[in-house]
A and B are shown apart, each in its own frame.
Chain A
Amino acid sequence: MRAKIFTLDEANRLLPEIIELTQHAVTAVERARAQAQFLSELDEGSRRESLEHEIDNILRNWARQISELGVLPKGFFTCDFQSPKSDTYFCWTFGEQEIAFVHRVDQTFKDRVPLEDAVLNGYNISLN
């Protein structure tokens, strides 16, 4: 799936849907993980394996759904949006209510900087 180009406004408008998808995945992972832990204490190996497979599926589905929106799934419930500036991604991670960070496309979560700092630091991005 090709990444769409988002203005900051467009990315923020899509965010409620992304948050809902992600919340759903997070809850499902937690539930599966709790079941797997319970079963491992009971030593029910095969059932536990199937729950591990379920976690794999939840993460895979989440990534697919995010990709279908034209957004780039990254890491553990983190997404990048291609900004109008070709070398810059808007970066969002679960728990955040709006897009507040950016990083260059060859960088990652650990390199991200707040939007306002990015402008100050000469990122020179088109925010809208």
Chain B
Amino acid sequence: MRRSLIAGQDMSNIEMTDVDKLTFGQKLEMMVRLINRQSIRSLLDTLSTTQLVQAHHFLWDMMVEIHFRSQEHIFRREDVTQKMIPSAKYQKMQNCDLRIDYCKGVECIWSNPECAGNKVKNNMEVMAQYIIELFDQANTKKMVAG
């Protein structure tokens, strides 16, 4: 069963069907790929829009967790977001003339899931790379032991 979703809806209040829920196995696969320094893109390509949004939250959390355990300095979101394609540039690349807020907040994830989904996936690849760099800065055992 598919809900109707409108642009701008608060993603945290989405009512999910079981089919749409990001499964434990999918989260696990994402973690295993990162531990193995593999790309997560092909996994992301299999997710529904709702699952993709959840996967984004999951990956961001994982990144903050691993940073917390491995780094002495405080996590700054800019350290990651500055490596992402700026929304204005992404919009230009897509020939999109909507207000930039739509792209910044990924407001059109539901109305234009292909374009916004691609942007989310690109950003998630940046996050994945950041996590892999954290892994590489120390071996896992030492790192998670903090």
Contacts and interface: CB of A to CB of B under 8 A. Distances in A.
Q: Is the interface of B mostly helix, strand, loop or mixed?
A: helix
B96 interface: no
**Residue of A29, A55, A75 with highest tally of chain B CB at under 10 A:** A75
B32 interface: yes
Interface string B6-32: 000000100000000000100011011
Interface in A1-54: 23, 26-27, 29-30, 33-34, 36, 52
Contact of B31 (A23, A30, A59, A95): A59
Interface of A: 23, 26-27, 29-30, 33-34, 36, 52, 55-56, 59-60, 63, 74-78, 93-96, 106, 108-110
B84 interface: no
A5 B61 CA distance: 24
**Chain A binding surface, main DSSP class:** helix
A76 B65 contact: yes
Given A52-B32, A55-B35, A55-B36, A109 B141 contact: no
A110 B60 contact: yes
A56 B25 CA distance: 9
Given A26-B141, A63-B24, A75-B58, A93 B32 contact: no
A94 B144 contact: yes
B28 to A, nearest CB: 6
Nearest to A53: B32
10 contacts: A56-B28, A56-B32, A59-B31, A75-B62, A76-B31, A93-B69, A94-B69, A106-B12, A108-B57, A110-B64
A29 B36 CA distance: 10
A77 B146 CA distance: 12
Contacts of B36: 33, 36, 52, 55
B140 interface: yes
B80 interface: no
Contact of B61 (A36, A59, A108): A108
